[in-house]
Amino acid sequence: MIKLIEDDITTLKVDAIVNAANKSLLGGGGVDGAIHRAAGPELLEECRQIGGCETGEAVLTKGYNLPAKYVIHTVGPVWAGGRNNEHSFLASCYRRSLELAIANNINSIAFPAISCGAYGFPIDEAATVTINTLHSFLVENGKPAEVYVVCFDPRVKAAFTQTLRSLQ
């Protein structure tokens, strides 16, 4: 099940929310800033101890003051014209996050539109990569039971809705 929603990701009562982080894991703007503000300073401390994360990889922390039990931090690619493997790095963010979810018995997970803000990934192309990657993973693994994509930006909502429809 893939469902698109428009809420602020920090308000969701799911097992895990995904953070569109940067390699330092030390916070930033956008959804990363919102998650750190809502989770509180202990999240930053746990991230500091992890020490960083490569592009396309993911790490798991607790959710602290968030309604979600866990945060999965993944580092999306910075868009650089499309010839630096940005598409495969983006797909890897979703796959690695879902693998961590399964390994931690997470049944419900909410993703932001990774790389679709500050990192400048073209939204239509991100929609195709995201929806196809999530769909293939669910077909192969049959879980997590609930996968949400949070479309905070109306352009993201439009593109992701169209791409999801074309699957069905």
Q: Which spans of this chain sit near ligand AR6 (rule: CB under 6 A)?
A: 8-10, 20-22, 28-32, 34, 76, 112-119, 150, 152-153, 156
User: Which residues, other chains included, contact 125 with Cβ-Cβ below 8 Å and sequence gap of 6+?
Assistant: 82, 87
Say whether 32 is catalytic: yes
Minimum Å gap between C-beta 140 and ligand AR6 is: 25
CB 167 to ligand AR6: min, Å: 20
Q: How far is the CB of 98 from ligand AR6 (least distance, A)?
A: 17
- Catalytic residue (one of 7, 8, 15, 32): 32
Judged by beta carbon, residue 89 or residue 119, the one nearer ligand AR6 is 119
Q: List active site positions.
A: 32
